[in-house]
Amino acid sequence: MAQGGNEHRMLFDLQRGRRRTAVKVVYAILAVLMGFSLFLVVGPLNIGELFNSSGSSSTDAAQPYEEQAERLEVKLKRDPENPDLLGALTRAHINAGNTLVVINPETGERGSTRQSRQEYEEAVEAWSRYVKAADKPSPNVAQVVAPAFVALTLASKTVPEAKRNLREAVAAQQMVAEARPSRGSISTLAIYQYFNGETKAAEKAEKELLGLTHAKFEREELEKQFESTSQQGAQQQALYKRAEKEEEQAAKAGGGGAGSLSSPSLGGSLGGSAFGE
């Protein structure tokens, strides 16, 4: 199971002026959504305990889920395409990953660790197997795996990796929104789509959400929030392009690595869906 220390990581190690600030602003809302699964799969626990900065405490909290995953893996050796087992395995790894997320006691910033990322990676691998095995993937499983893909997006080291993870987050959240259309599921989908550069799809989801909102002041507030999210998504896509261009230039110059993504901390805070249910 997961090994290693509490190594924090987020996209883009940008230490120069405006670019670093822009990344922290752009990723704040995704960091919020990263925590959505915590309240769906772990339940109303003491958040101070759940996000304890002590590695041993987090590891202890993850142990039951890791043991559950091991038992499921044994069963899957006998029945490797059982969708119920694969769905349960996905949840077990996500639960373990959620308990291994840590909080900086000085700044309040929450970040992934090497262990939590490993659990999320194993979760999305199980999810991929589950999607292939299930006649119709459960929106319950999709609802908790989407934020795991966002967590991996935030921890990605390269632009292609980040794009791939966020694209998968969109696909999982799309399943949730289609199966259970609500203000929460649709708003989350729209946010993911804006950050993924799917502007037209996001605008369609936004229009659907506004159709579910009847109070004038609520509609106006949602429109303002989505306008801001749209701008942040555009900034994110611009940063992707810039990083890719720098990587290409570095490769031509024989350097390499200029477009890699890394940062010592995770901006934003964890909570629930941006606009609620």
Query: What value does the mean pLDDT take over residues 160-175?
Result: 94
Percent of the chain with pLDDT over 70: 68
Give me the pLDDT at residue 245, please.
84
Give me the pLDDT at residue 244, please.
83
> How many other CB atoms are there within 10 angstroms of residue 259's CB atom?
20
257's tokens: 């690595």
Cα separation, 220 vs 132, whole angstroms? 41
Residue 273 has pLDDT above 60, yes or no: no
Query: What value does the mean pLDDT take over residues 137-144?
Result: 95
> Which domains are assigned to the chain?
17-252 (1.25.40.10)
Give me the pLDDT at residue 275, please.
42
Query: What value does the mean pLDDT take over residues 120-128?
Result: 97
Residue 214 has pLDDT above 90, yes or no: no
* Mean model confidence pLDDT for the chain: 76
Contact 235, 22 (CB under 8 A): yes
Residue 60 has pLDDT above 80, yes or no: yes
Cα separation, 34 vs 166, whole angstroms? 11
Residue 38 has pLDDT above 80, yes or no: no
Cα separation, 188 vs 170, whole angstroms? 9
Query: What value does the mean pLDDT take over residues 80-97?
Result: 96
Query: What value does the mean pLDDT take over residues 35-44?
Result: 38
CA angle 117–9–43, rounded 5-degree value: 50
Select the more confidently predicted residue: 146 or 101. 146
Nearest to 152 by CA among 120, 193, 114, 109: 120
Banded pLDDT at 277 (limits 50, 70, 90): very low
Residue 133 has pLDDT above 80, yes or no: yes
Give me the pLDDT at residue 23, please.
40
Residue 143 has pLDDT above 60, yes or no: yes
Select the more confidently predicted residue: 6 or 72. 72
Query: What value does the mean pLDDT take over residues 228-240?
Result: 87
